[in-house]
A and B are shown apart, each in its own frame.
Chain A
């Protein structure tokens, strides 16, 4: 049973993979996109419950994608967590200005990301799965 559908957007394939893994282990269903344009399509087709969005991406950057999501009536309710190596305050502010719900700087801890997601989706922290699946 899925706890919800999360769209993970990053142009770095390894990051997408590890988030897919960590969130999957947490019981989320994960859909992925490798650039901004792809992300907007997936938002429409997959109707995710939450979006983890990298900022520095080709074609359309994270800010643009976020602005787009937050300005459309059908998608503005979807929580967006921005993910970026840009840790400066000004970048964070820019993130909140475009309507992001949270901002996490790289390198990030997958556990912390999961906690934030759980919080935003109103979930309690799940028990860790028992050793040996």
Chain B
């Protein structure tokens, strides 16, 4: 059977329909599925959106709440801030601060640590929310500076604060049991008990003074930006409070020192009164005898025999002599003390003098069967001193020793040479000096025991006179004794006048003896002479073995007040420890430069030298920021070392409180003159290089390093006397009138006179006085010739002439360097020493070369 076509078509059509239907349903299902999914997505988004909208509401409400809270907190902070500033006991202030932090920033636990500059440790000083045990543990735990610094990683930084999350595992195994609170289980985003948030307390110049750390937030949340900001506002106030308090403490310290000084002044006044009454008593005693014997003799002249009359007259004579001696001693002492005394130093054999003195004492010693022993390392020790005065000292110490020694005892006189000084000892086996009297035995206003002085007659002025004499020679006198076992007096005498600075007072303390005015002038002088914008003068605080700034120029007040450096630490500490100058050309490369206040340094070069008295470092001078913005060089080092020696001498001289005010005034005048001179010469073109040229020229001519240092100094001060001369005279062409000429001709002498109060090296004044001399003898002021002129003066002469030729005068054009050199060469052999001019020529050549090289490099 054959199916009909229609059927076939119908079949095909239904198959096709079927296929189409299937296809359609498929796509329909697909569409439906996608619709559902987008519906689901829409629903989901809707959920999300409504959730988000809920969240937004929360956030808004939260923000509203926090800003209200924040306003309240800030108000609180301000209240606290005012109370902090009016309150000056540090511990009380710190206590308020931690509680303010706790309240305002919402942390139950707050700990504040303050850096102890002396030990370099952060010590726990104030606490909030901690029990006694925890506080004790925290107090025992000191954080070394280095450890603290290791926490300051960039990855932890939040604003000016640091947050170290527990997940960083930064702390490792730390035994913090007892002061870390147990916060229980915390969820994601909440504060964890091992989280740490701390705020370092920096001063304006970047010195860290402490930090506070917080724990256990009230809101259980990780710190928000607002929280950190609140903490930081409080930190600022904490810093101010800490600085205020330390200033206040310092103020109290200086007040105490002032009180002490006042007490001392009163004591001195009291002693002065006692002294006057003692002196008048001592004067009246012989006078009483004289009057009584005279009157008795007059009254009974008829009833006494000639022997008795002779006896009476003998007493009168003896007592008059005693009176005379007494008056002499008092006058001598007052003269020594007033400083009007003229000493005549000349070389003599000290051992010979000692023998003479012993001969004179022999009779007195024999009367008490006392043996005198003389010990000397060599038969001849030549010292340069006033023989008569030294004799008085030896005689006084010798006769004292005999006077206070029992019959049959021994008195020993000994001389030893020690470096540039001679040590003289006078030892006895006598009654000794009680402990409480030993420190004041040289005090003329002091008597150990009035009854003792009656038993052992004498005015009690001998030792005071001896002390004055020894000090006049730049020496030192000391006493040691054991009550009942004898005494030993030691005199240290410089061998020559120039050695005076090698001897120091054992108890010398610059903080006490040098006035503020003088230290300020010293710093000013150094800054001006060295052409430095910043200079500071640090003193050694021996008790704490620290350095502190006594005076400074170009440093902020907080730095001056707040800086304390341990001996051995950083640059100044290194200098104090080693007693050697240190020239740092790049502070960033020097490992000793550990302080964070680098922005104080405009230039990277720093120069630091010790101030030494008798080999002991008493201070440090630092300079940096050279006005020319160039680094310091070894020439600067030579000059600053030289200045430091003069500073030491000046301090030493004024520290003798007996003549302190007079010498302070004199020293001030010298420093002021040097400052003015430095300012004057800075106005000139080449002056900055005068010291440098002098150093270079000195070295080229083979001078010793010591002489080079002297030269650097002289180059800076040789014209200090010019300040006294009206400068307009130098601006007038033509010849000067006689009077003006005389004044100009005197200026080298005047300069020498000005620097003298801070001078210990004779060659300095010699060079200054001779720098206008000519080798043909036609110079001024003394007309010295050839070898009579010291080499230093010849060097300074050449440099001075070169300088004045190249800067010109109103009536004369400045010469070029080459012209000036030619002129120097022309005058070589008559005005100038040829080899100095020649060396200068070489120097000039190399300077030019350097300049060319620099120019080439720059190009």
Chain A interfacial positions (CB closer than 8 Å to B): 11-12, 14-15, 17-19, 21-22, 25, 56-59, 61, 85-86, 106-111, 128-129, 131-133
Within 8 A of A (CB), among B246-265: none
CB-CB under 8 A from A18, the residues of chain B are 289, 292-293, 296, 315
Tell me which of B299-307, B401-409, B495-503, B793-801 binds A: B299-307
The answer to whether the Cβ of B849 comes within 8 Å of any Cβ in the partner chain is no
Asked if B854 is an interface residue, CB under 8 A from chain A, the answer is no
Instruction: Please determine whether A22 and B319 come into contact, CB atoms closer than 8 angstroms.
Output: no
Q: Are B277 and A108 in contact (CB under 8 A)?
A: no
Q: Kindly report which residue of chain A lies nearest to residue B456, judged by CB atoms.
A: A58
Taking a contact as CB atoms under 8 Å apart, the answer to whether B291 and A109 are in contact is yes
Residues of chain B within 8 A (CB-CB) of A129 are 303
Min Cβ gap B316→A in Å is 10
In the complex, chain B residues whose CB is within 8 Å of the CB of A108: 288, 291-292
Contacts A14-B319, A15-B292, A18-B293 given; does A56 touch B281 at CB 8 Å: yes
**B302 close to A110 (CB less than 8 A):** no
| In the assembled complex, B287 has its CB within 8 A of some CB on chain A | yes
Residue contact B295 to A85, C-beta cutoff 8 Å: no
B284 at the binding interface (Cβ < 8 Å): yes
| A85–B285 CA distance with the chains assembled, in angstroms | 7
Q: What separation, in Å, do the CA atoms of A18 and B524 have in the docked complex?
A: 68
Report which of B287, B300, B455 forms a contact with A25, defined as CB distance below 8 A.
Answer: B300
Q: Is the CB of A58 within 8 A of B302?
A: no
Residue of A nearest to B303 (CB): A133
State whether B292 touches A110 (Cβ < 8 A): yes
Which of chain A's residues have a CB closer than 8 A to the CB of B66?
A: none
Known: A85-B288, A109-B291. A14 touches B315 (CB 8 A): yes
Q: How far is the CA of A56 from the CA of B293 in the complex (A)?
A: 20
Query: Closest chain A residue to B453 by CB distance?
Result: A58
Residues of A within 8 Å of B292, CB to CB, are 14-15, 18-19, 22, 107-110
Closest to B305 in A: A133
Contacting residues, chain A, for B302 (C-beta < 8 A): 131-132
B452, CB-defined interface residue at 8 Å: yes
**Alpha-carbon distance A15/B315, docked complex (angstroms):** 10
B131 within 8 A of A: no
* Shortest Cβ distance from residue A25 to the other chain B in the assembled complex, whole angstroms: 6
With both beta carbons as reference points, the residue of chain A lying nearest to B284 in the complex is identified as A85
Q: Report if B454 contacts A (CB, 8 A).
A: yes
Q: How far is the CA of A58 from the CA of B78 in the complex (A)?
A: 71
Besides A107-B292, A131-B302, 16 other CB < 8 A contacts? Answer: A11-B454, A14-B293, A17-B315, A18-B289, A21-B300, A57-B451, A58-B454, A61-B451, A85-B281, A85-B288, A108-B288, A108-B291, A109-B291, A128-B299, A129-B303, A132-B302
For A61, the closest partner residue in chain B by CB is B451
Report the minimal beta-carbon distance from B311 to chain A, rounded to whole angstroms. Answer: 9
| B349: interface (CB < 8 Å) | no
Instruction: Determine how close the nearest CB of chain A comes to the CB of B287; give it in whole angstroms.
Output: 5
B755 at the interface (CB under 8 A from A): no
Contacts of B289 in A (CB 8 A): 12, 14-15, 18
Residues of B that sit less than 8 Å from A by CB: 277, 280-281, 284-285, 287-293, 295-296, 299-300, 302-303, 315, 319, 450-452, 454-455
State how many angstroms separate the Cβ of A67 from the closest Cβ of chain B: 17
A110 in contact with B285 (CB, 8 Å): no
B303 adjacent to A107 (CB under 8 Å): no
| A131 in contact with B452 (CB, 8 Å) | no
**Known contacts being A59-B451, A129-B303, A131-B303, is A15 close to B296, with CB within 8 Å?**
no
Contact between B295 and A111 (Cβ–Cβ < 8 Å)? yes
Chain A residue nearest to B311 (CB atoms) is A17
Which of A57, A110, A132 meets B296, CB within 8 Å?
A110
Verify B291–A58 contact, CB threshold 8 A.
no
Residues of A within 8 A of B450 (CB): 56
A61: chain B residues within 8 A (beta carbon): 451
B282: shortest Cβ distance to chain A, in Å? 9
Residues of A within 8 A of B299 (CB): 22, 110-111, 128
> Chain B residues near A12 (CB, 8 Å)?
285, 288-289
B295 touching A110 by the CB < 8 A rule?
yes
Chain A residues near B281: list those with CB within 8 A. Answer: 56, 85-86
Given contacts A15-B292, A25-B300, A108-B291, contact A56 B454 (CB under 8 A): yes
Across the two chains, which residue of chain A brings its CB closest to B282? A85
| Contact with A85, one of B280, B293, B315, B451 (Cβ below 8 angstroms) | B280
A57 to B455, CA, bound (A): 9
B454: A residues at CB distance < 8 A = 11, 56-58
| Chain B residues whose CB sits within 8 angstroms of the CB of A25 once the complex forms | 300, 303
Are A58's CB and B293's CB within 8 A? no
Q: Which residue of B lies closest to A22 (CB)?
A: B296
Contacts of A56 in B (CB 8 A): 281, 450, 454
A109 adjacent to B295 (CB under 8 Å): yes
Question: Shortest CB–CB separation between residue B6 and chain A, in angstroms?
Answer: 165
* Interface pairs A-B: 8 shortest CB-CB: A58-B451, A131-B302, A85-B284, A107-B288, A107-B291, A106-B288, A14-B289, A18-B292
Cα separation A11 to B603 with both chains bound (whole Å): 76
A106-B303 CB under 8 A given contacts A14-B293, A14-B315, A58-B452:
no
Q: Report B459 CB to chain A, min CB distance, Å.
A: 14
Q: How far is the CB of A30 from chain B (nearest CB, A)?
A: 14
Chain B positions within 8 Å of A21 at CB level = 296, 300
Rounded to whole Å, the gap between the CB of A70 and the closest CB of chain B is 22
